[in-house]
Amino acid sequence: MTGREILLGVTGGVAAYKAADLCSKIVQQGDFVSVVMTESAGQFIGATTFEALTGRPVYSGTFRPIEHFQGEHIGLARRAQLFVVAPATANFLAQAAGGFAGDLLSTLVLTATCPLLLAPAMNCDMWDKKSVQRNVTQLRSDGVHFVDPGSGWLSCGQVGSGRMAEPTEILATINKLLDQH
């Protein structure tokens, strides 16, 4: 099945480059992608990359409507059949678990009614923190889906858990979730 609407959130982490590959793979299979970037994501990858891949604007401002004048957090949420955040940083996990709406991406977590899939990515010491694991547990109990991070070489020079799942693994989970709904 093609022509499905995917909302892709990108947060600020080195793994943001993998989000571009994921976005490309989703588009190549015939689905539509709207990208929402946090301010910190822009420190790692440019909006122009995602605009070229999707043929759509990239959304970031809560109060600067581009397409949905009743609010991007409403329009994007209503259009999405699946909401994916990759990479999902420790900060984003805390915002989502706590129900905070400090930017467009975290506000979308509160307005979207479609399934939410998170692909965490962070330093292994961060991933192992009790507070991060508590947030993951809360989100899972709230019905949020995860593609857990893998182990391997991390940009900090350590080897351990926290490496964002590969785009092909995330794509397989996206297709599985969309086939279920």
CATH number at residue 24: 3.40.50.1950
Rounded Cα distance between 49 and 165, Å, is 20
Rg of the chain over Cα atoms, rounded to whole angstroms, equals: 15
What is the overall mean pLDDT for the chain?
91
> The tokens of 57 are what?
């604007």
Bridge partners (DSSP) listed for residue 120: 88
Q: What secondary structure does DSSP assign to 112-141, as a single string?
A: --S-EEEEE---HHHHH-HHHHHHHHHHHH
Q: Determine which one of 23, 114, 124, 156 is catalytic.
A: 156
Indicate the burial class of 1 (C-beta count within 10 angstroms; 0-12, 13-18, 19 or more).
exposed
Active site residue 156: yes
CB neighbours (10 Å) of residue 150?
Answer: 13
Q: How large is the average pLDDT for residues 59-81?
A: 71
Q: How large is the average pLDDT for residues 46-64?
A: 88
For residue 60, what pLDDT band results from cuts at 50, 70 and 90? confident
Please say whether the dihedral angle defined by the alpha carbons of residues 47, 97, 120 and 116, taken in this order, is positive or negative. Answer: negative
Q: How large is the average pLDDT for residues 38-50?
A: 95
Rounded Cα distance between 16 and 14, Å, is 5
For the chain, the domain total comes to 1
Report pLDDT digits (tens) over 100-154.
999 999 999 999 999 999 999 999 899 999 999 999 999 999 999 999 998 887 7
Task: Give residue 70's pLDDT.
Answer: 63
Domain containing 127 equals: 5-180
Lowest-pLDDT range, 29-33, 148-152, 168-172, 175-179? 148-152
> The tokens of 102 are what?
């400090």
3 state DSSP class of 155: coil
Task: Give residue 36's pLDDT.
Answer: 96
Nearest-CA neighbor of 149 among 88, 80, 70, 77? 88
Higher pLDDT, 114 or 1: 114
The secondary element (H helix, E strand) that includes residue 8 is strand 5-10
